[in-house]
Amino acid sequence: MSYIHSVMVALEETTAEGSDMTPAEEGILTTIFNALTSPLAIVIYISVLVVLMLAIVISVMVNEHRFTSVSDRLGKSADKAERALQKGQTSRFDALKTLDEKKKTRVETNFNQEMGLKELCDTFRNFACGKLGLYYNIDVIREFIAGLAVSHIIILQGMSGTGKTSLAFAFGQFLENPSTVIPVQPMWKERSDLLGYYNEFTKRFNETLLLQKIYEANSRKDIFVTILDEMNIARVEYYFAEFLSLLEIPNISERKLEVVSDHWPDDPVDLIGGRVLLPDNMWFLGTANNDDSTFAISDKVYDRAMVLNIDTKSEPFAAPNYRTVPISAKRFQQLAAEAVKTIGVEEELMEKLKKVDAYLSENYRISFGNRIMKQITTYLPVYQACGGEQLDALDDILAKKILRKLETQNMTYRATDLKLLCDFFNDEFGAERMSRSLSTVRRIARNG
């Protein structure tokens, strides 16, 4: 229509006084105008408009039919699931109900009750070598086992290919209870990414592998190992927040994860009131890479976890006589508790630790909290029970848990202060005796 309007305007201009159009041009415009406004042209316009309106109406009807069809199918599926639940034919937790059935016929593991922590470390190292071809320094194994005694969260970090995931996997094989590998996804942000979610249409719960293992661990005495592979490819403090909080609760019976908000009569036995206990026999081992593709792990996570740096490969060695050693979580925790009670922290080291605390607090405003002090007083005696020296354990935990906090401060213009800190460690503990702590401080001094 806008084109017709343009033609009409042009015709008006041709009739206006002073128009410079030729008679031929005026004739062409007149012909076009007559053609566009003829009865035949009007009929064509109306026909096209009717066709367009019919096409729109048909499209709306088809889409509405499709939506209604999908809704009907989902509604019928939901009704069918609900009727089946009412008849007792199925459950919204199929996998967990299957675990209830298996529990009735399961034979309890014959656990080793005699092995101590030192022998446990040596035997595990030989098993990893002889069975899986994995070589680890004995110090790494001691730090790993002692770390399990301190926290239910272990962060395994280091260069790619040094055996972080393999170590966690090998430990499950060694215990005769295979580790569960959970590949963390970049888009994870909340608890449902780990535990699953309830589908309102199908009336079923999407049961993740982790939820199944948590439920199974509640009825067993074994040590359960869950590997969060590449844990910092998403923000740990987002998707793992609830686990971090629950593991802080001293009363184990209060560490309950809400799976659903209600209770159905046919729910699994150990899912009480829609909640399942986060069991004390489950450990979370997260592998972490520090590169541009990952997120930095926050202090909230680091403070609650134990950290194991695997930076180098160990030299190969022979281990012809290797074996598995199933040990219960209760027995392992008893061994750790006995080490803390009978060995304790060396008095001389405790005095030196107080001096370190005072020095760092005065010069860098870094202080030990109650949580870290408890970790230190557990880690040192357990590490000694594993066959190591308490001074090495103190060096290790200071470097990983305390001195790393210097990285959050601007050290560009404080190289002299950091040199004085190194001198302080050498004076208190002996020249280069605290090698890991000194290495950490010097690295921070170089990087600013």
Do 266 and 389 fall within a single domain? Answer: no
Which of 11-20, 304-313, 363-372, 389-398 holds the top average pLDDT?
389-398
**Residue 224 carries which DSSP code?**
E
Host H or E run for residue 229 = strand 224-229
Give the model's pLDDT for residue 86.
53
pLDDT score of 122 more than 60: yes
Give the model's pLDDT for residue 78.
46
pLDDT score of 142 more than 80: yes
Final residue before a domain boundary, out of 309, 335, 354: 309
Within-domain flag for 97 = no
The predicted model gives 245-253 an average pLDDT of: 94
Give the model's pLDDT for residue 158.
82
Within-domain flag for 270 = yes
Domain count, the chain: 4
pLDDT score of 414 more than 90: no
Give the model's pLDDT for residue 77.
43
pLDDT-derived band at 311, boundaries 50, 70, 90: confident
What percentage of the chain carries pLDDT values higher than 90? Answer: 64
Do 255 and 404 fall within a single domain? Answer: no
Q: 164-173, 304-313, 344-353 — which is least confidently predicted?
A: 304-313
Within-domain flag for 321 = no
Give the model's pLDDT for residue 89.
44
Do 301 and 153 fall within a single domain? Answer: yes
Give the 3-state secondary structure of 240-288.
Answer: CHHHHHHCCCCCHHHCEEECCCCCCCCCCCCCECCEEECCCCEEEEEEE
The predicted model gives 47-65 an average pLDDT of: 78
Do 17 and 77 fall within a single domain? Answer: no
End-to-end CA distance of the chain: 72
What does R_g of the chain's alpha carbons equal in angstroms? 35
The predicted model gives 150-179 an average pLDDT of: 92
Within-domain flag for 106 = no
Between residues 108 and 409, the one the model is more confident about: 108
pLDDT-derived band at 82, boundaries 50, 70, 90: low
Nearest CA to 288 among 300, 276, 297? 297
Final residue before a domain boundary, out of 309, 327, 362: 309
pLDDT-derived band at 294, boundaries 50, 70, 90: confident
The predicted model gives 224-241 an average pLDDT of: 95
What percentage of the chain carries pLDDT values higher than 70? Answer: 86
> Which residues does 406 contact at the CB level (< 8 Å), separation at least 6?
364, 366, 418, 440, 441, 444
Classify the C-alpha dihedral 20-26-32-33 as positive or negative: positive
Give the model's pLDDT for residue 58.
83
Do 206 and 305 fall within a single domain? Answer: yes
Final residue before a domain boundary, out of 283, 309, 335: 309
Within-domain flag for 301 = yes
Give the model's pLDDT for residue 347.
96
Task: Bin 273: left if φ > 0, else alpha if -120 < ψ < 50, else beta.
Answer: left
Do 294 and 405 fall within a single domain? Answer: no
The mean predicted confidence, pLDDT, of the chain is 87
* Boundaries of domain holding 48: 41-90
Give the model's pLDDT for residue 74.
42
Within-domain flag for 325 = no
Backbone angles phi, psi at 365, to 5 degrees: 55, 40
How far apart CA 151 and CA 377 sit, in angstroms, is 13
Within-domain flag for 316 = no
Give the model's pLDDT for residue 65.
60
Do 152 and 231 fall within a single domain? Answer: yes
pLDDT score of 7 more than 70: no
pLDDT score of 12 more than 70: no
The predicted model gives 176-203 an average pLDDT of: 94
Do 25 and 48 fall within a single domain? Answer: no
Residue 4 tokens, joined: 């017709």
Do 10 and 46 fall within a single domain? Answer: no
Give the model's pLDDT for residue 384.
98
Within-domain flag for 337 = no
Do 28 and 81 fall within a single domain? Answer: no
Do 30 and 49 fall within a single domain? Answer: no
Strands (E), 76-212: 153-157, 180-183, 196-199, 204-207
pLDDT score of 76 more than 70: no
Task: Bin 433: left if φ > 0, else alpha if -120 < ψ < 50, else beta.
Answer: alpha
Give the model's pLDDT for residue 37.
74
pLDDT-derived band at 369, boundaries 50, 70, 90: confident
pLDDT tens readout for residues 92-121: 999 999 999 999 998 888 999 999 999 999
How far apart CA 23 and CA 14 sit, in angstroms, is 9
CATH at residue 236: 3.40.50.300
The predicted model gives 172-176 an average pLDDT of: 97
Give the model's pLDDT for residue 80.
46
Do 258 and 133 fall within a single domain? Answer: yes
Give the model's pLDDT for residue 385.
98
The predicted model gives 192-211 an average pLDDT of: 93
Between residues 51 and 68, the one the model is more confident about: 51
